[in-house]
């Protein structure tokens, strides 16, 4: 098996749905498309992926791997969707995020796709994710302040030199005042890969700690995640 393609999942701000995208895209690729997928919570400061997937009380995390306390194999757990997950943990100190790429490179031969959930700011954590990725995905909502903030993230990606696969437009259809898909593409100069609707089932899935693609596979959002997954 060829080395996995590594995708960094980036956003300019918290709350746009980056972790929701990671959880659902990874789950549907594993569950329905039978891909060998690893999702890594590389949000060192505020990891949340394990909360979205109801994977609580796990004995080790990415932070422990980075600190050489355990191997990445011993911090990889299987979600009920079939998705492999390396969770994060809170309040870990002395974590050298620049080691992320070396750790990801160790397991690239074991998977087809690796998704890196990132810190929602333009900082050293986000840079480490970009440097560890073969391509990145930018998650945004269709509102002017958030779309504009994405320009800083895109600037950092371009500085590092990692290709951008495109934009995932999330929470679409919540307001008549939101930007159109064409306006977002023109503003950011990048193609939109998917338009995830503002589907109540997504929010219920977060509350139940189960990805919507698992809980309600025929919901509007699940159908769009399915379409997105076909691009990988």
pLDDT digits (tens, 9 = 90+) for 87-111: 999 867 778 999 999 999 999 999 9
Choose the weakest-confidence range: 3-12, 72-81, 86-95, 192-201. 86-95
Mean pLDDT over 135-152 rounds to: 96
DSSP string across 165-217: EEEEEEEETS-TTSPPHHHHHHHHTS-EEEEEE--HHHHHHHHHTS-HHHH-T
- What value does the mean pLDDT take over residues 186-213? 95
Cα–Cα distance between 174 and 199 in angstroms, integer? 9
Indicate yes or no: pTM above 0.85. Answer: yes
What was the pLDDT predicted at 91?
66
Cβ proximity of 170 and 212 under 8 Å: no
The per-residue pLDDT for range 62-87, each reduced to its tens digit, is: 999 999 999 999 999 999 999 999 99
Which residues contact residue 170 at a Cβ distance below 8 angstroms, ignoring those fewer than 6 apart? 16, 17, 20, 21, 139, 140, 141, 196
Give the strand order in the sheet containing 84-86. Answer: 77-78, 84-86, 37-41, 113-117, 5-11, 135-140, 164-172, 192-197
Mean pLDDT of the chain: 95
Indicate the pLDDT class of residue 176, thresholds 50, 70 and 90: confident
| Residue 175 pLDDT greater than 90, yes or no | no
Whether the pLDDT of residue 206 is over 90: the answer is: no
- State the pLDDT at residue 4: 95
Rounded to an integer, the average pLDDT of 110-123 is 93
* pLDDT > 90 in the chain, percent: 88
Residue 44 in tokens:
């060192």
Distances (CA, A) of 141 to 24, 166, 212, 220: 17, 14, 18, 17
């Amino acid at each position: 098996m060829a080395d996995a393609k590594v995708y960094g999942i980036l956003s300019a701000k918290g709350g746009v749905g980056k972790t929701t995208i990671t959880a659902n895209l990874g789950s549907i690729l594993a569950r329905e498309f039978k891909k060998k997928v690893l999702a890594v919570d590389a949000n060192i400061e505020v990891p949340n992926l394990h909360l979205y997937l109801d994977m609580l009380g796990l004995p080790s995390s990415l932070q422990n791997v980075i600190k050489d306390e355990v191997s990445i194999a011993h911090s990889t757990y299987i979600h009920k969707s079939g998705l492999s997950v390396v969770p994060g943990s809170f309040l870990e100190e002395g974590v050298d995020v620049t080691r992320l790429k070396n750790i990801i490179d160790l397991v690239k031969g074991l998977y087809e796709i690796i998704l890196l959930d990132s810190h929602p700011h333009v900082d050293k954590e986000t840079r480490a994710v970009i440097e560890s990725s073969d391509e990145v995905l930018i998650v945004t909502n269709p509102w002017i302040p958030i779309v504009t903030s994405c320009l800083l993230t895109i600037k950092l990606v371009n500085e590092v030199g990692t290709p951008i696969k495109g934009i995932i437009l999330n929470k679409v259809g919540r307001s008549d005042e939101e930007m159109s898909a064409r306006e977002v593409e023109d503003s950011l100069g990048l193609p939109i890969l998917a338009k995830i609707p503002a589907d109540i089932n997504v929010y219920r899935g977060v509350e139940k700690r189960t990805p919507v693609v698992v809980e309600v596979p025929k919901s509007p959002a699940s159908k769009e995640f399915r379409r997105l997954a076909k691009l990988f």
